[in-house]
A and B are shown apart, each in its own frame.
Chain A
């Protein structure tokens, strides 16, 4: 694919405002989905790692469900609870937030299919934090919330960052669920599909290559930043 794409066509495609807007939309909606849903996913991961409660196994199964079901089916499910007739849709509409055919809907679809990656990574991170350290913090007078923010979260941070990167990546690459919830505005995977369907392989290829290159650059940068943080912490440890 890379060899069949000339630098000229790649350059011309990169200049197209439709392509630029699509890539930008894909990136910011995925970032938004990751950040917003992390506030729910991280505490949930902590509960899953630390607490025993009825139906825990069922909840674990539900968390992993988006990984195994067809994403078009996931899109239909999302449409059910964000459409204008649903409770969530009505609440959203009342404050001027529409989901169907809107970036907010794209973000929800991205989050739905990618959140298992964050929850599982964060849960593994929290499981790796010694309960003794949390108990020590409690016995030093810290409240449970302070223990979470000063001990559990920093010590699980490496896994959480990894989960955030994976969630962001998975969100960017989502197609099946998004095409059901919001064909327009077009995220890049939908744009590639649109160009392939309407104009053929030749027109779809440069956008694909461009999106792959940009994704690659973003993830290399994110991994690099995460590693930089780790190595600066470990050098402080020395």
Chain B
């Protein structure tokens, strides 16, 4: 018998945990990596002859909580129709008993991998605005992501943005009863998997879910019941800070322009939810205002700063007017008497 190297053992461990696809329309292509609650594989859907990403639950804990979460992620994603949210194609149980869902195979790079690429400040801010769009849609449907971080954001080759890993998403209580997420799709998912779903899935008060550094303080304290869209806004603020600091080493307060940007980040990541933006739209509104040279809500300007900003924003017009006035003065002075 040949010697099994450490690498061979690792390959065998991976092969041993590979999902059983016999009898399904899927054909294994390769293992893509480990996600929030399971492993993601690249598989081919032989029915449609297309490649899809299949997320398979690796750990079936005795309480079934993780299983419920994976199914819930599939349900949440199925309802969030937006180009920035990965569409779910299929959900079910594999022959080996493991739960899976198949989704669009996203080709691109993670935000944390591309953040150091050279891009101008306006380009990075516009990229950030794209990240905010699907989150705003989710919030409008009463869904919080709760684990927003650069590793969960994919950027495609044409600059398209996809927000991934909705595994610990929360359906807000106020919209839970009326939300289609908790009604229509739960029946479909339960029928497909044969597993009745808890509605809504519960994360117990005091349980901490999220990622340190990107998690709002109230989330880190496990105040699950108190969480609202402002927890995601905190995470988006932390992402904006990461996006701006990854290349330039941080947003300094050296001049008026960067002070305004720093104020936007500070407002988004304020420790108290009441001090943050009320909505993602408010947040992106300030970003848009910053890009257009307009006043931002996060930063009350002094008269001098406002004047300076107006001059800066209308520099061309002001120069033209001054040039015109100067020409008139010279014309008057030099006109032959």
Chains A and B form a bound pair? no
